[in-house]
Amino acid sequence: MAAYENAIEIKGLTKHFDGFTLDNISFTVPKGSIMGFIGQNGAGKSTTINSLLGIIKADSGEMKMLGMDSIKDENTIKRDISAVFDELPFHEQLNAKMLDKMLAHIYSTWNSDTFFGYLKRFALPEKKKFAKFSKGMKMKLQIAAALSHGAKLLIMDEATTGLDPVVRSEILDIFMEYLQDENNSILMSSHITSDLEKIADSVTFIDRGKILISGYKDDILASHGIMKCTKEDYSAVSREDFISARVTDFGAELLVSDRKAYAKKYSGAVIDNATLDDIMIYYVNRNKKEWK
């Protein structure tokens, strides 16, 4: 495998559906990092991931994974990547032993010991049919399968959605362990931003098929802020200076994208830290500009 800097490189990805267009998406996931891919439901996260994985065909654009072209070198790439979906993609009549036998003959690098090690760690039964698994067990099983063939890139589509905080925390720990190897990378789509705030190195925010922000999480959190002011002060703020504003009877809260500059411009204004959740909500309402 050739040396590469970015685990994922997407340039100008476009996919048109009736009523939805993934519009010229571009972003990169640096090797050895975890990227959070956030956006509300229907923003285009799954479409991007499915295009990347070859589940759907993109209309145009260039995609590279592990330094190779995702279409030309599809089969080579797929030996070294793993996908985890929000729902278990295995038949409910199967059990973990059967799955091991099946995947051992699909992946040349499959390691049964690792797989059964994860099963033991997650307390998953080997002979119980998947139909009888809970949602958390199914997700753990998918992760166990994904990490048992030495994948260099893990792509997850809403993998932690619907799980309780205990299971989510357990899974996030596994990801942190996985990232101990600097050759491993993760792209994780989710709308549970608190998880990403904990573990993500970088964040890409997509809305209505367009990338709005992409960069290092710390930089994004450092540059954005929530400016709190009274209604009178709010009326004095130029509309170009904020992304959107939440106006209530008590005052207004504005999301600003360059905290330092606005602190200087509006001296005396209180600018609090913004969370990824805040950033997502304020950006989603950017067209309304003002909302309650």
Question: Which residues form the interface with another protein (CB under 8 A)?
Answer: 17, 50, 53-57, 75-76, 78-79, 81-83, 85, 87-94, 98, 101-107
What is the nearest approach in angstroms of another protein to the Cβ of residue 80? 9
C-beta of 83 vs 229, nearer to another protein: 83
What is the nearest approach in angstroms of another protein to the Cβ of residue 30? 22
C-beta of 87 vs 218, nearer to another protein: 87
Q: What token pair was written down for 4?
A: 């590469």
| Residue 292 near residue 246 (C-beta atoms within 8 A) | yes
- SS3 call for 62: strand
Q: Which of 237, 229, 272, 87 is nearest to 163 (CA)?
A: 87
C-beta of 65 vs 284, nearer to another protein: 65
| Helices within the chain (DSSP H only) | 45-53, 74-79, 96-104, 112-121, 135-146, 165-178, 193-199, 217-223, 231-236, 259-265, 276-284
C-beta of 78 vs 228, nearer to another protein: 78
What is the nearest approach in angstroms of another protein to the Cβ of residue 96? 12
What is the nearest approach in angstroms of another protein to the Cβ of residue 55? 5
C-beta of 90 vs 115, nearer to another protein: 90
- The sign one gets for the Cα dihedral 283, 286, 288, 290 is positive
Q: Which residues contact 231 (CB under 8 A, 6 or more apart)?
A: 247, 251, 252
User: Phi/psi at 63 (nearest 5 deg)?
Assistant: -130, 135
| Residue 65 near residue 53 (C-beta atoms within 8 A) | no
What is the nearest approach in angstroms of another protein to the Cβ of residue 66? 13
Say which residue the tokens 């993934």 belong to. Answer: 22
C-beta of 76 vs 194, nearer to another protein: 76
What is the nearest approach in angstroms of another protein to the Cβ of residue 197? 28
